Every structure is written in structure tokens, then in C-alpha cells.
Amino acid sequence: MMRKLISVVFVIAFQFLQAQNLQITSPDEKIAISFQLDEGVPFYNVSRSGTEIIKKSKLGFIIKDQKPLDSNFKIESHEINSFDETWTQVWGEEKNIRNHFNQLKVSLTDDSSPKRKLNIFFRAYDDGIAFRYEIPEQESFNNFEIMDEITEFVLTGNYSSWWIKAYQWNRYEYLYQNSPLDGIDTVHTPFTVEVNDSLYLSFHEAALVDYSSLTLENMGNHVLKANLVPWSDGTKVKASAPMKSPWRTVQISETPGGLITSYLILNLNEPNKLDDISWIKPQKYIGIWWEMHINKSTWASGEKHGATTENTKRYIDFAAKHGFDGVLVEGWNEGWDGDWTANGEIFSFTKSYPDFNLDEVTDYAASKGVKLIGHHETGAAVLNYEKQMEDAFALYHKHGVNTVKTGYVGWGQNIKRVDEEGNIQKEWHHGQFMVRHYQKVVETAAKYHIMIDAHEPIKDTGLRRTWPNFMTREGARGQEYDAWSDDGGNPPDHTTIIPFTRLLSGPMDFTPGIFDILFEDDPPVDNRVNTTLAKQLAHYVVLYSPLQMSADLPENYEANLGAFKFIKDVPVDWEFTRVPNAKIGDYITIVRKDRSSEDWYLGSITDENARNLKVKLDFLTPGKKYTAEIYKDGANADWKTNPLEIEITSQIVDSNTEMELKLAPGGGQAIRFSPAK
């Protein structure tokens, strides 16, 4: 690891500092952050190449039973640091990441009694900016409750944006809307904005630990204000000094693809805390899951029960035959009978249904070189889960299970907790109470060498750097909606939007790979998958996850082994990621290099419109020939009328080749580039 740290400390007389406009620029000097006090009120603004992109925006807090911590300030001191390192991800979409920034720390003191202290840190990167608050330890200001965070982002125009509404019953699982800024509501982050065709912004947060999740409230006149998800009593954050807020982040790019290859969120998190990472391994898996979504079997016990010993062995045999690492089994444990979404307290995480033998199944998997992937659905009854968590992880560890998918299906503000008076209170999935819970899960899992795939999660804020066993999450509408959603499933443009919104926060367990697109061989289902077959393959490159599922039934893959070969070949851990072309909501092409070989993979997808996209293969090693194995939409393919037509070809290419990608309506293309023999 290369590392350089230069620090200059300024402690200057009050009178001089009050008139000073403190500023730092990014290492390439294009982005500038300015801080100032205006009659004791803290403000910041951001410009790029001399053009203001965030106007004068207010900072501070409202504290319960105290004066607001947002005015009457004087600057005690400020400190400017420059930092440059290159660190290696345990796994990820880019192996080596440069963390290069300039930092301004401003130390403020409330000029009126009791003279409370507040520090604000600003960081300027070439790909964006970030800032966070610190309330240092101090005698007069120890335990406190934050009732509001004043943080503003004042934009300079009514720009096009992509968003999902916050405070809804179905958490993050909504289709993204595209509208001008003045048409948005209170929205979740990442929140992405197109200023013009050469400037894109995405607002989010990093290092969310023991704090409430950030949403952004539309205040009118292009002003976005922090809106923290509250506790049931209205408090936003319960804290004690010293306290650091999460980083408030703005990724800044000239292209949509530059947002994807920005690693600002990861860079703002602490380094890996785990000494032993030998057990953390990205993997591809199949599982007893999709068959329940299409009503072929059930999670509940009975004659259609999916998670039986016999059925699990069938999946294990398929996984072993085709080189998959794991088999997910949902519905193995007691508690699925009845309305478990309303009665999650009935779940046991250690007791199997009678027709599922955990000892037999895990022994059989081990004999085949396959791992069982465990499942903990809580039904949002987190207290019940926390009571059993240690025993549940210990049981899995005993049986060699090192990956667990968790679930928190529940609607709106219905997470139950017991307050200090013994009363039941109901909390949001995304408030401080649940932020603490999700963190407890990943840390407890690490004790037992278990990786986590969280569904109905808290959003990713880059903590996978610090806790690399927090592998992937759901946190958006995944492929399951194609099986049963009343609105007909995910439209063709859905996966051309989420790479620039949800996936900017981190990996997503989208569960791609459905081959029976029309459900012709399954029990009667009104829905269908709204893509072509080639687009399903391309999703394995476009939609990153280190735990990547092949979601369809084994028999559907056996019926189309030609297309299935791409899923078997494509890796889940990458050395490089590039985005040759992209337009949010229309199309995207991503290329990634395998971390363990010289192979490159390309995935390109479009919305409901056909596209012809050109891609230069200048990412390939100059002077070398490669075999391109191409999986493309057939000549007459169309997501509506002819989704299954696929053409599989090959050709010899090199770094000077320019390929034309012909994408059918709702279609895609997937390519493997291997050194020619």
C-alpha cells in the first residue's frame, strides 16, 4: 500500500478567521469546497471548474431541550490535510482503489454559554465531495438527542433526477421515477441528478453507523434538506459525545459511467477490521427460492413444501455438476406456516421442519464440494431474532455453513422494540434502532465466519470495506417482482436505471438469470419476465454482486445449456471495471476484468427501445488476440414478442477492434473475451 499524509495546522486569531473564507480543492483542482460563517451561522458551497454546483447551504443541528447548534459560532481553528493511498479490496468491482483527497477540518465553538464545540470535516476528491459532523467530548455537552439535522444541498437549477419516495410501506422496493427537482418528494439516497450532458451528481451518505438513515426533503427552490428517519418518539438520533455523523456525500462526474466507477463511498469508510479474511469468498449460487415465487412450491410445510431433504439434494447435485459454490435453502426452519409476515415471533432459527434434515443435507453438500447457504427470515421481528442470533449462527458454523441470507419482510413502521418503560414501540426499517441491529448482525456473523446477504436491508453506505463479510443486499425491486407483482413486474428500463441509483451505494442481490421468461413450463402465473434471454445474461456483468444467484430452476438451465455456459463462466470478483457508454434509463455497457484470469466480460442492456452501440476494445491488452464468445439477441428478438431468440457466436478480436452491439427492444448482449489459444 502506498500512503502519503501531509498536514498543515492553522490556529489563528478569532478576528482574522471570522472574515476568512476557508477553502480546499480536489487534488486535480477542479472541485472546490468553501466554508464560511455568516453572522455565526455555518455555510458551505461547492464549485467545479469555476462553476457553482451547490450554492450557499446551511449546516448544523437542532438539539432536544437545548439551543439549536446552528448559529452563534466562532472558528477556534482549522486544519488542512492531504492524503493519498492505494488500498486493495478484499473483493469487489475494482481490486486496487486510490484514496486521494484534501481535507479541511473546521473547529467551531458556540459563542454563548455553555460554549458547545462542533467540528466539521470536508473532503474534496477528484470524483466528488463529502463532509461530516463531529461533536467532541466536552463537559457541558455529553448525552443529547438530535431532533433535526440542518444540512442543506442548495442546487443551481431544476435538474432532471431519478428517485424513489421515502417513508413508504414497502421500504426501498419501488420503481424509480424521473422528474425535475421541483417534482420530487422526500426521497431515499442515492439520489441522482443530471445537471447537463456533461455533469452528473449523486447524493448519498457513507459510514452509516449508530445514526439514523438520511433521506432528502424537497424544500422548494431547488433546496434539498437532510430528513433523518426518526425513532417512534420523534427523536432523530440518540447520542453521546464524542459522536461522528455519517459522511454526507456528493459524487460528481462528467459522464453517467463515471458515477459507477467512483469509489468515493468506499474510501470514506474505515479499513477492514477483520484479521482473518480467508473464509470470505465471493461465489455463485442456486437455490430453493424461485420455485416458491412462481407457486410451484411453498415456504410453508405441507405437500408442496420446497425445502425438503430430497429437493435440496437435487439442487446440490445440479450445483456440483455445473460448478456452483452454494445452494440457498429457504423455508427449512419452523415458523413459515400461517401469516408469518405479521407474526415473525414464531420463527425458530435452529429447529427444522420434519422433512428437512440439516445434518444430512450439509454432509451431502460437503461430499459434493458444495456449501449450503443458510436463511434467516425474521418477518421484521428483530427482538425474536436477536434472542436466537448467537445460537443460530453457531448452528450454521457447526455445519460448515458460511453464508446466510437474512430477511426483514414487514410493512412500513412496524419493527417492534421494547422501550425503557416496557412498552412496545414500532420503528422504521431505516431509523437508528435498525441501523444498530443490522450492524449487530454483521458483527455477530463475523464471529462465526459467516458472510451476510441482507434482504429488506438498511441501504449500503460502504461498510463492506470495514466489514467485508457484509457481501451484498437487496434494497430495491429485484427479479422476484417479475413473478408476481400486480403492475406486471419490472419494466425494461428498470435495470438501465438502478446502476446509476441503487447500485451506486453497493452490490445488489438482484437474482438474475431467468430462462423461462414466459413461465410456459411452470404453474399458471399471470406475469412474465420483461427482458430478452440475452439481457438476462448481460445482467451478470451490469448488476454487480459478489454473491450472484442463478435464480431459475435447474431444469430450465438444463434445457438451454448453450446460453447457460455464460452464467457458469462469468466471475463474481473483478480487477477492473469500465463503462464505455451509458445513458441513465436508456442503456448501459459495462466491461469488467476477472481478478483471477486474463478474461474480460462485457454486459450491455437497453430499455424498451432497440439500440446499436459501438464499443472500442481498447481495454484489452495491446498486442494480444482474444476470442470473443458472444451471446446476443437474435435477429428477430423482442422482449414482448420474441424474448427467447438468442444467437451465440465467436470471433477473434484485439485492442484495436471496434464492435457493434445490436440490442433488441428490452434486450442485451453478453461477451466473454479470453486470450486466444
Per-residue pLDDT tens digits for 619-670: 999 999 999 999 999 999 999 999 999 999 999 999 999 999 999 999 999 9
Integer CA distances (angstroms), 120 to 5, 76, 134, in order: 20, 12, 6
Residue 467 lies in a domain: no
CATH (domain of 135):
2.70.98.10
CB contact set of 512 (below 8 Å; sequence gap of 6+): 479, 536, 539, 540, 543, 548, 549, 550, 551
Per-residue pLDDT tens digits for 81-139: 999 999 999 999 999 999 999 999 999 999 888 899 999 999 999 999 999 999 999 98
Residue 589 lies in a domain: no
Rounded distance between C-alpha atoms, residue 605 and residue 583, angstroms: 11
- The runs of H, that is alpha helices, within 474-599 are 481-484, 533-542, 554-558, 561-569
Mean pLDDT of the chain: 96
Contact 517, 529 (CB under 8 A): yes
Per-residue pLDDT tens digits for 9-44: 434 334 344 446 999 999 999 999 999 999 999 999
Per-residue pLDDT tens digits for 136-186: 999 889 999 999 999 999 999 999 999 999 999 999 999 999 999 999 999
From 330, 480, 575, 629, the catalytic residue:
480
pLDDT at 60 over 90: yes
Task: Please give the residue range of the domain that contains residue 12.
Answer: 3-267
* Residue 84 backbone phi and psi in degrees, to 5: -150, 120
Contact 150, 60 (CB under 8 A): yes
Quote the pLDDT of residue 113: 81
Q: Find where cell 412462481 sits.
A: 294
Parallel, antiparallel, or unpaired for β 187-188 and 214-218?
antiparallel
Q: How many domains does the chain have?
A: 1
Residue 603 lies in a domain: no
Residue 392 lies in a domain: no
Q: Find where cell 431532533 sits.
A: 147
Quote the pLDDT of residue 20: 66
Residue 222 lies in a domain: yes
Residue 140 lies in a domain: yes
Q: What does pTM read for this prediction? A: 0.96
Residue 611 belongs to what H/E stretch? strand 611-616
Residue 95 lies in a domain: yes
Contact 135, 239 (CB under 8 A): yes
Specify whether 39 is catalytic: no
Residue 251 lies in a domain: yes
